[in-house]
Amino acid sequence: MKEIRIGLVGSGWMGKAHSSALADAEMLFGPDYGTASFEIVADANEEAAKSAQKKIGFKRISTDWHDVVTDPNVDLVDIATPNAFHYVVAKAALENGKNVYCEKPLSISAEESRELAELAAEKGVVNYVGFNNSQNPITWRHINKLAGCGALGDLGSHLLSISQFIMGDITKVNAVATTVFPKRPKSAGSTEMVDVENEDIMTFMAEYANGAIGQIACSRVATGRKNYLTYEIQGTKGSVRYDLERMGEVQVYFQSDNERDRGFRTVLLNPLMKGYSAFQPAGGISIAYNDMKILEVHALFDAITNGADYVTDFEFGYKIDRTVAAVIESSKTREWVDVK
């Protein structure tokens, strides 16, 4: 049993979700993957750091993330700050030879992500990005069953990671964006209105390296939708439809079914899907969002302790950020843009 000493930076929603997953992973998967030891937490807000220490049991706290990345007693720097800080914290952590677990997106620019991916490769440490939807047991099922079936489509926002995870690289995009609310309160509850600098809705067409085409859309102003992370992949041999608001089920269609009864059917999550059986012994029992984080931490620990392969490394994060950059460029130029 290897002890993995955690240094957490940012103890908000994701910092807590990570910590709870770090504590639960060993209980569910056993000791062969490592035991989390909560060494130090840094949060710019001292009260938040103190609260995390009390609830999670970190030995020490700080209001300065430098204390985490330079701490000789930290094996894994866990970054759950707002996006803009990912780059500086991850870079300093890598420079200090730490393994890094960074929330998505890896950074706020393709250039920063490229630098991080190169530095991580140079240092040879584990470098994991929190694209947890790739850990959804249902996603794994889709890969096994339907990857490479032919012409496929895709939609979703966070799903840029799932999309490229399942279908391979996006090579070209053509986007349109709009800002529905040009001004918003400066902060929650404020009466001061400031300009909104980025889009509320982004829609784009994509070409994949494998010849598939797709359309992907994301909106932060859609009324009625709560966690509408949805995709449909249409292949020549079958199709799949998934909606994260209904996490325990997937709709599948097989062209090989007899013609009279052919149609979409609902398949419930079950122990034959990778990762599920760690939580539930029988099919149809719900698992939830935070369980994806436990599966993510399990993959991360397996990489640190046993050298296991993992997909969502910094190079993968860089690929997502390159795609994001191309989509944004296209939404401005109104032309097709290559993902460089």
Ligand X SMILES: NC(=O)c1ccc[n+]([C@@H]2O[C@H](COP(=O)([O-])OP(=O)(O)OC[C@H]3O[C@@H](n4cnc5c(N)ncnc54)[C@H](O)[C@@H]3O)[C@@H](O)[C@H]2O)c1
Given the rule CB under 6 A, which residues bind ligand X? 9-15, 42-45, 48, 65, 80-83, 85, 103-104, 130, 132
Structure tokens at 303: 């990489």
State which residue, 69 or 267, has the beta carbon closest to ligand X. Answer: 69
Cβ proximity to ligand X: between 99 and 135 the closer is: 135
CB 227 within 8 A of CB 219: no
Q: How far is the CB of 203 from ligand X (least distance, A)?
A: 21
Which residue's structure tokens are 């296991």? 308
Residue indicated by tokens 């993968």: 316
Name residues whose C-beta falls within 8 Å of residue 72's C-beta, 6 or more positions apart in sequence: none
* Nearer residue to ligand X within complex by CB, 21 or 273: 21
As measured in angstroms, the least distance from the Cβ of 294 to ligand X is 13
**Which residue number, 174 or 312, has a Cβ lying nearer to ligand X?**
312
CB of 107 to ligand X, least distance (A): 10
Specify the residue, 58 or 65, whose C-beta has the smaller distance to ligand X: 65
Q: How far apart are the first and last CA of the chain?
A: 42
Nearer to ligand X, 101 or 301 (CB): 101
Tell me the closest approach of the beta carbon of residue 148 to ligand X, in angstroms. 27
Residue 49 Cβ, how far from ligand X at the closest point, in Å?
8
Q: Which residue's Cβ lies closest to ligand X?
A: 12
Min. distance of Cβ 290 from ligand X in angstroms?
10
The distance of closest approach from Cβ of residue 85 to ligand X in the complex, given in angstroms and rounded to an integer, is 5
Closest separation in Å from C-beta 81 to ligand X:
4
